[in-house]
């Protein structure tokens, strides 16, 4: 039995840090279901995150995100990728702490800016130049980093490892330390 059986594994971190892609790979490796809170919010709202932000504002999105996280916290043996700002609510941290293990993924600001630049569907970064994205990421990270630092484990995602190698590294680290 794995030391984290009966708990969820939560991937947190800034947008484009690899939470969804690594989370999916980790879930597949474990044979567990994978959930992305952003996808679940969109499904529940029947709209994209960009539309929710534009029509109802960020706070409405955050409330939906918390409701989704609360439901996921009631499940067991799932891998969950959270939106980058989900960790800024204390209520969300209660759900995370009470139901699972948190893994923070990081990447250098320039790498994040490049990754984000490939996807114009991110409402907080849409229509920004590369330099503007870098500045915005630095500002947002300054506010969010203390929350990411609360995670049980921290890993840097980079192109130096394949997703498979990264998943095996995370797995071995969890086995060793839990």
Residue 120 is predicted with a pLDDT of 61
Q: What percent of the chain has pLDDT over 90?
A: 71
User: Mean per-residue pLDDT for 60-83?
Assistant: 96
**Cα–Cα distances in Å, from 175 out to 156, 169, 178?**
18, 10, 6
Angle between the N-to-C axes of helices 49-56 and 58-73, in degrees from 0 to 180, rounded to the nearest 10: 130
Q: Is the pLDDT of residue 159 over 70?
A: no
Residue 55: burial class (beta carbons within 10 Å; 0-12, 13-18, 19+):
exposed
pTM across the whole model? 0.92
Residue 123 is predicted with a pLDDT of 64
Which has the minimum average pLDDT: 11-25, 69-83, 115-129? 115-129
User: Mean per-residue pLDDT for 142-152?
Assistant: 96
pLDDT band at 177 (very low <50, low <70, confident <90, very high): confident
Q: For the CA atoms of 60, 40, 148, 117, what is the dihedral angle to 10 degrees?
A: -90
Residue 158 is predicted with a pLDDT of 73
User: Mean per-residue pLDDT for 86-97?
Assistant: 96
Residue 125 is predicted with a pLDDT of 73
Would you state the structure tokens that stand for residue 74, as one six-digit string? 């009631």
Q: Which domains does the chain have, with CATH numbers?
A: 8-171 (3.40.50.300)
Q: Is the pLDDT of residue 161 over 90?
A: no
User: Mean per-residue pLDDT for 73-100?
Assistant: 96
Pair 125, 53: CB distance under 8 Å: no
CA 53 from chain centre, in angstroms, equals: 18
């Amino acid at each position: 039995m794995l030391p984290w059986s009966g708990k969820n594994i939560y991937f947190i971190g800034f947008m484009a840090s690899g939470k969804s892609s690594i989370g999916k790979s980790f879930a597949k490796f474990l044979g567990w279901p994978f959930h992305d809170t952003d996808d679940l919010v969109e499904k529940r709202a029947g709209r994209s995150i960009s539309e929710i932000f534009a029509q109802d504002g960020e706070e409405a999105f955050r409330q939906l995100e918390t409701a989704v996280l609360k439901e996921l916290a009631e499940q067991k043996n799932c891998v969950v990728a959270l939106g980058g700002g989900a960790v800024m609510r204390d209520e969300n941290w209660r759900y995370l702490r009470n139901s699972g293990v948190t893994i923070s993924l990081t990447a250098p600001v320039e790498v994040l800016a490049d990754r984000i630049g490939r996807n114009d569907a991110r409402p907080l970064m849409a229509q920004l130049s590369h330099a503007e994205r870098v500045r915005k990421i630095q500002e947002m990270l300054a506010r969010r980093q203390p929350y990411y630092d609360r995670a049980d484990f921290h890993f840097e995602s980079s192109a130096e490892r394949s997703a498979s190698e990264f998943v095996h590294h995370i797995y071995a680290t969890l086995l060793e330390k839990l």
